[in-house]
Chains A and B, each alone.
Chain A
Amino acid sequence: MVTDHIPGRLIAVEGLDGSGKSTQIHLLYQWLNGLGCKVFFSEWNSSSIVRSATRKGKKKQLLTPTTFSLIHATDFADRYERQILPMLEAGYIVLCDRYIYTSFARDGVRGCDSHWLRKLYGFARHPHITLYFELPLETALGRILEGRPQLKYFEAGMDLNLSGDIYESFRIFQGRVKEQYDAMAEEFGFTVIDASQHIHVQQESVREMIEEKIDLPRFKLRVKR
């Protein structure tokens, strides 16, 4: 894993679907942007080049745990090498909604070898700060399942044959993903945020922590907008 010095700062958020992490990182982005910092946001599974392949495989349910994992690694590598790393070298604060730990958790549950996964993503540096939005499984499930949404096949872990019922499959799958996250929290030194608190309260404590750990004035844009 890459650890050498780099001018930028990398912040990642991780957590279950329904943990509110995307909301939190959005608010974080708004705050940093408002302060006049150089900030860049990148989302898991969003590379335009890789997307067509991912969509095809997912739609036709053609992916195995191995190809599912590799196609996400392809997406990540594209974003990492063309955006995330250059941004860090240019002294940006890079915010990632999900990072390599999402693969470790989900692909781990799908049966991929954990050593193989860590090697696969060995080219990526660990974030300076990884925020893990932790909350009880039932709360996370409740937020997502309330209103009986259309769940996607892979999102619900249907490929694992956990249950014929997509909602039940989602519950079991999310439970296992949470176990993986909880186990990684110590291994990778996640900063655990209690995601059952009020949104505003969480954001306050996140901002406080970031202000403490990152010398924000250093990351202000030189060119005034």
Chain B
Amino acid sequence: MSEKKCYGNPPPHVDLSRLSGFLIVIEGPDSSGRSTQTRMLSNWLEQRGYAVVQTGLLRSPIVGPALEAAKQGNVLSPRTMSLFYATDFYDQLENTIVPALRAGYIVLADRYVYTLQARDLVRGADPGWVESLYSMAIVPDAVFFLMASSRNLVERTLTANQLLDYWESGMDIGISRNWFESFIRYQRRLRVEFKNLQEKYGFEIVDANRSVNAIQKGLRAHVETVLHDTRSVLG
């Protein structure tokens, strides 16, 4: 059984003992192929007999709908947004992730606290404040960061949606009035924050400039190691 711990103190009344599942996190910007890769990984794991629960951002019934609505109007300050997202995150941590880990599931998280932190940091949040805010997160068994060049991200986004997303382009920050330029520069800043976070939290960087299948193959090999290593510790 893999011993679970949090980055700091665990949330009050959350029992970290007997969490026999695995927490695997896939991080990366929109259009990095993150959701496709997560879905493929999930199918593959289930085919191999592992039960999977998927989590992501904004899926909590408490704040999800309110935050979606607020994003449409863009009236919340960055800090209010941070705290809304943090509420959503901890709701899922306590009500989805922990129970699933206790029941022995593999939890595949389509983004985790790193995306949330990177977004806050790009918007000027105090690093110590953000770190403390998310200090009660459970340390995952593995974190994969899908890293793609801004040019590739633009191309994929435009191919799929024919337009750039307001938030993923960082238009709320006012980097540039030009959407394309804003997107490129915002994604570049995010990548800098992710690199800093990577040094701190040590996640696996996956080259997402490759084909879907090539990326998936690499991910499976890594996940295999994680599952295997922990099993052999068990004896």
Seen from chain A, the residues whose Cβ lies within 8 Å of a Cβ on chain B are: 49-50, 52-53, 56-57, 62-67, 70-71, 73-74, 77-78, 81-82, 110-113, 116, 119-120, 122-123
B77/A111 in contact, CB under 8 A: no
Chain B residue total in the interface (Cβ 8 A): 33
Which residues on the A side are within 8 Å of B135 (C-beta)?
116
The contact sample of 8 A-B pairs, CB cut-off 8 A, is: A49-B70, A52-B66, A53-B87, A56-B61, A64-B11, A77-B83, A111-B13, A120-B133
A77 to B84, CA, bound (A): 10
Chain B stretch 106-129: residues in CB contact (< 8 A) with chain A: 126, 128-129
Task: Identify which of B61, B77, B90 contacts A77 (C-beta below 8 A).
Answer: B77
B8/A64 in contact, CB under 8 A: no
B13/A63 in contact, CB under 8 A: no
B61/A62 in contact, CB under 8 A: yes
Other CB < 8 Å A-B pairs besides A50-B66, A53-B66, A70-B87, 4 of them?
A70-B86, A71-B87, A77-B83, A123-B126
Task: Identify which of A53, A64, A119, A120 contacts B63 (C-beta below 8 A).
Answer: A53
Which residues on the B side are within 8 Å of A53 (C-beta)?
62-63, 65-67, 84, 87
B11/A81 in contact, CB under 8 A: no
A67 to B87, CA, bound (A): 5
Minimum C-beta distance from A119 to chain B (A)? 4
Seen from chain B, the residues whose Cβ lies within 8 Å of a Cβ on chain A are: 8-9, 11-13, 61-63, 65-67, 70, 75-77, 79-80, 82-84, 86-87, 90-91, 94-95, 126, 128-129, 132-133, 135-136
Minimum C-beta distance from A61 to chain B (A)? 11
Which residues on the A side are within 8 Å of B67 (C-beta)?
53
Interface centre among A57, A67, A71, A120 (most CB of B within 10 A): A67
B75/A116 in contact, CB under 8 A: no
Minimum C-beta distance from B57 to chain A (A)? 15
B11/A49 in contact, CB under 8 A: no
Which residues on the B side are within 8 Å of A74 (C-beta)?
63, 80, 83-84, 87
| Nearest opposing residue in chain A for B11, CB measure | A66
B66/A67 in contact, CB under 8 A: no
B12/A110 in contact, CB under 8 A: yes
B79/A70 in contact, CB under 8 A: no
B62/A57 in contact, CB under 8 A: yes
Minimum C-beta distance from B83 to chain A (A)? 4
Minimum C-beta distance from A162 to chain B (A)? 13
A116/B132 in contact, CB under 8 A: yes
| CB-CB nearest 7 A-B residue pairs | A111-B12, A53-B66, A74-B83, A70-B87, A119-B132, A81-B77, A66-B11
